[in-house]
Amino acid sequence: MDVFDRFKNNQFLSPISSKTLQKIGNHCQLNNKSEILEIDCGKGAVSILLAHFFHSQLTGTENRTIFLQDAKRRALFEDVTHQVNFIESDINNLPFDEKFFNLAIYLSPPFPCETDKYLVKVAPFTVLNGWISISKTVIRDEKEFNLKEELRNWIKNLNKNIELKTIEESIKCYEGLGFSVKKTFIEDKKSWEIFYSSQALTLLDIKSERNISLIEKKYFDEWKKELEMYHSGGGKESLEYVTFLMQKK
C-alpha cells in the first residue's frame, strides 16, 4: 500500500478552501500579469486553481519527488503548463531573483510548523508592496486551550520547540518581524472536514489489509491519532486554520 494514499483525494494538503484562495487573489488584485510563488506546493492544486481563477503566472517549489511528479501531471491534465511551472527546491535554496513575485504563498499542515522562517526567507523575493500569504493553525483562546490536556500534549510531542499562538499573538509576532498584516481569513469547519475525509477513508480501507509494513503502520497510527485529536480530543473546539495576508512595512 502506498503511504501517500492519504492525499490521493485531497485537493489541498491543508484545510484551505477554494473560496479563501479567491479572496486572497481578489484582495491582492491578481491578474494575467501577476507572478505568484508557492512554497512547498505539494501536488500543485493551489497553484493550478489560482492559474484558472486569475490567469496569473505561477511557480511552485517542492522537494518531495512523488508530489512534484503529481503536480506536473495535473498541470498537464488541466492544460495550464503555459501558466504554471513546478520546480524541485526547498525554502533554503530558492533559485529566484529578488523583488520578482507579486505574491508568495505558504500553506502549513494543520499542526505546529516553523512558519516564521518562511516569512523572512520569502520576503526578499516579492516586489515592493508585494504580498505574502501564510496559512497556519492557531488556537482560538489560550485559556480554553490550556484545559485540553490531551490535545496540548499531542501538539507538544509533534514539535516541542513550537507553541501554537492565537490570531492576535501571531499578528504581533509578524509585526515584530517587520510585516503588516492587512487581512485574515478563517476557515470554517467544513474545510477541516473535507481535508480529513480522505485520511479517514484510507484508515477504513486498511482494516481489510492483513499484511502492512511497519512504516505503513507508523503512518496509519499517526493519522488515526490526528483524526482523534481533531474530532474528539478538542481540536474542533480549540483550533482554527487561518490565512494571514501581509506586506513588508
Whether the Cβ atoms of residue 46 and residue 16 lie closer than 8 Å to each other: yes
d(CA 36, CA 96): 12
pLDDT for 114 equals: 78
pLDDT tens for the chain, 249 residues long, are 454 555 555 666 789 999 999 999 999 999 999 999 999 998 899 999 999 999 999 999 999 888 899 899 999 999 999 999 999 998 888 999 999 999 999 999 887 777 877 888 899 999 999 999 999 999 887 666 555 777 878 877 877 777 788 999 999 999 999 999 999 999 999 999 888 887 787 777 776 666 777 877 787 888 888 888 888 888 888 899 999 999 999
Distance of CA 11 to the CA centre of its chain: 12
The cell for 206 is 486498511
Supply the DSSP symbol for 138.
E
Beta bridge partners of 184: 244
Domain boundaries, the chain: 14-138+163-187+239-248
d(CA 67, CA 64): 6
Q: Which CATH architecture has domain 14-138+163-187+239-248?
A: 3-Layer(aba) Sandwich (3.40)
What strand order describes the sheet that includes 126-139? 84-88, 57-62, 35-39, 101-107, 126-139, 239-248, 179-186
Residue bearing cell 492483513: 210
pTM of this prediction? Answer: 0.90
